[in-house]
Amino acid sequence: MTIKADARKHYDALREVLYPEHGEREGVTVVSVLRALPDWCAMASADGHDDLVYEVKEDLRKRVRSARIILGYDAPQRMLKDSVCGDCGGALIVADDASSDVRCIGTPEAPSCGTKYFRWQWIELLEGEGA
């Protein structure tokens, strides 16, 4: 339902900036809306509506991520409580099901340094040697 509502909201916003003289169309399906969004985002970006395009992409990226977790394609991620990055002191994040590498996500003051601890290095993290 949230995908449907967000898609419709962004479709209407893009239609308003791209086709302001056209009235609202009745009976547009969600599938049609989702198919139109990429092309309309490209058109809106070319017309200088970058803020709107960014908002659309961010909202739909979050929905795709949620859908992938719900459908079992991805696992939610969690920060590690008692370990920090050995290079910059940033927070570390990993998939709940331990299916990913541990990676630095930085601090509120500084972005990630890009350090990754591969799964075969986890024992070093646990023993305090890698972080």
Identify whether the C-beta of residue 44 lies closer than 8 Å to the C-beta of residue 17: yes
pLDDT at 9: 93
Domain region containing 117: 77-127
**Model confidence pTM above 0.85:** no
- Give how many domains the chain has, as a whole number: 2
pLDDT at 128: 64
88 and 107, same domain (yes or no): yes
* Boundary-marking domain end, from 25, 40, 70: 70
Q: Alpha helices, DSSP H only, in the chain?
A: 2-18, 30-46, 50-70, 122-127
pLDDT at 129: 55
* Boundary-marking domain end, from 36, 53, 70: 70
What is the pLDDT tens value at each position of the chain, 131 positions in all?
A: 888 889 999 999 999 999 988 877 778 898 999 899 999 999 999 999 999 999 999 998 888 888 888 887 878 888 888 888 888 989 999 888 878 888 999 988 988 898 888 888 777 766 765 54
